[in-house]
Chains A and B, each alone.
Chain A
Amino acid sequence: MTAAVANALEARRLPRWAPAATAVAAAALAYVVFALGGVLGGGPVLTVVGAVVFFLAGLALASGIVEGSRAARNRIATALIYSAFTLALLPLVSVVFTLVSKGTARLDAEFFGHSMRNIGPQDNSGGAYHAIIGTLEQVAIATLITVPLGTGGAIYIVEYGRGRLALAIRFFVDVMTGIPSIVAGLFILAFWVLIVSPHLSPDGLPFYSGFAASLALSVLMLPTITRSSEEMLRLVPVALREGAYALGIAKWKTIMRIVLPTALPGIVTGVMLAVARAAGETAPVLLVAGGGAGINFSPFHGLQNSLSIFIYDQAGSASKYAPARAWTAALTLVALVLTLTIAAKLLSRRNKLR
């Protein structure tokens, strides 16, 4: 009697190896039908798609017969989710693979120690030192400009903003988020390079600069940072603010010492997303910093290159040595962004308690 009750909860299950076996069988079937048999024209893509379809159908059939329809639907849903995940991962893996396999050819000291000055189409040497300096300086300045402005704006919107002004600011932030990067570049070109910079140079002529690129990048980063910081600040529970107020802590101190630290990891993530995007921007930087082959340490005067411009130049160059330089620069850019992101994550976690 008791045994029967216990058994009522049990159901027939497919053996553990069933999905794997189905997958192998489906792959074999697809190979025979499409790759060897050439049904529907054949080809590798059709073979893979066919294998997936056979797998789903076979699994549904087996599970439906043995386990019943509810379990079969569960298995199909699980399989679909895994397929979607694999599909989403594919481009990422292939990008990383391509970058690493093609980018290592010029991964040498020359690349990180020299610029492209006096490098002709016949030369296999030359490097991206000047571009790395440019990217680092431009992104650093843009971050210095946008982080205080962006988080400050978010704090205003969340903590102080009431009524029309806050609504208007939020609206403009939303509009700014949609500005194409080339428009930001054109704006800085027209405003900073052509109108402001002549007043700053001794000869009264407009000039390119890395700083102008920083300004253009700032226009792009500011709305992202404001928006993500705003969301993060809103997630901080009201109870924490009230707890601080009830201790007689002033509002600004509550914000600086209680609310901001609580929201910090999320804010850092938002900043890093903005930085990553800015580091890869090409068009606006090209418009206002101009590129150039030589090393220019000063972001405030003269042509300055950046990794993304470097990639653009090398990829379009006729020299047979240029593509390798472009790939290595691309690898460097990705590694740089990745390193910055990891460093920022570690830093923001460090002041979290153990």
Chain B
Amino acid sequence: MAKRIEASGISAYYGAFKAIEDINMVIEPKSVTALIGPSGCGKSTFLRSINRMHEVLPGARVEGKLTLDSQDLYGRDVDVTAVRRLIGMVFQRPNPFPTMSIYDNVVSGLRLNGVRRKSMLDTACEKALRSANLWNEVHTRLSRPGAGLSGGQQQRLCIARAIAVEPQVVLMDEPCSALDPISTLAIEDLISELKNQYTIVIVTHNMQQAARVSDRTAFFSIDKTGDPGRLIEYDETNKIFTNPSVKRTEDYITGRFG
């Protein structure tokens, strides 16, 4: 199910402003890749260009080549909704659909893409909620509003919603930054389980989290404000955190980054 992502020469713009420049990296299947770096260096921008969410903003565009198992994601005839079904996304703030119940939230991706059979939806709902470690907490109140859960539960609901459509890649943009340590641990455990099935890319500001959950880590940075962000170093997480080959990476990780 998981697939390899290859980015070559990716640059992304907001209107005339170039937010990231010439990113080249290969994201391995069935692994967790962490994106770290100072604020504004373009981690979210790069992440959003992987599932073509970047271009949703007016004036935003992406240059370069991005492939999923050698299928071009930015080809001329590519259907963006198909790309986004293969590459799911979890946002920084939980965003359950407020008019929908827990059940409807989880199956929304399937239902709004044409799946009607109740039995199929039921199975998918339970499977996704179990994978997101939420089933035990909510299975007695599936018809209650999704917005009525706690923040950590809402975030796991959003993860369940993202994996219910059985994507091959799951992108997560600081999924734990609005959560308490216990919910964070729950989600980190979840990520470690999910990587058996999915390719996972996670943006985080938490070094320990990157070290704990990821197999490979990419360090992004900018020279000064207004400059585009670049990929500085990309390697095994172990190597990045113990013996980085670039001085800037080491400075950032040890907290000497200005």
Contacts and interface: CB of A to CB of B under 8 A. Distances in A.
B99 A261 contact: yes
Contacts, number: 78
A242 B95 contact: yes
Given A239-B91, A246-B51, A246-B162, A258 B97 contact: yes
Interface in A245-267: 245-250, 253-254, 257-258, 261-262, 264
Contacts of A204: none
B106 to A, nearest CB: 11
Contact of B112 (A162, A257, A262, A264): A257
B221 interface: no
Contacts of A37: none
Interface centre among B93, B97, B99, B108 (most CB of A within 10 A): B99
A248 B97 contact: no
Q: In terms of DSSP, what is the predominant structure of the interface of chain A?
A: helix
Given A247-B162, A353-B145, A240 B97 contact: yes
Contacts of A354: 144
A37 to B, nearest CB: 62
A112 to B, nearest CB: 39
Contacts of B56: 241-242, 245
Interface stretch (B2-10, B66-74, B77-85): B77-85
Nearest to A246: B89
Contact of A242 (B53, B109, B161): B53
A239 B95 contact: yes
B53 A247 contact: no
A180 interface: no
A261 B97 CA distance: 10
B27 interface: no
A248 B85 contact: yes
A352 B99 contact: yes
Given A245-B84, A352-B99, 20 more contacts: A240-B98, A244-B97, A244-B112, A246-B88, A247-B84, A247-B85, A247-B109, A247-B113, A247-B165, A248-B86, A249-B112, A254-B112, A257-B112, A262-B99, A264-B99, A351-B99, A353-B101, A353-B144, A353-B145, A354-B144
Interface of A: 162, 237, 239-250, 253-254, 257-258, 261-262, 264, 351-354
5 A-B pairs closest in CB distance: A248-B85, A247-B109, A246-B89, A353-B145, A248-B84
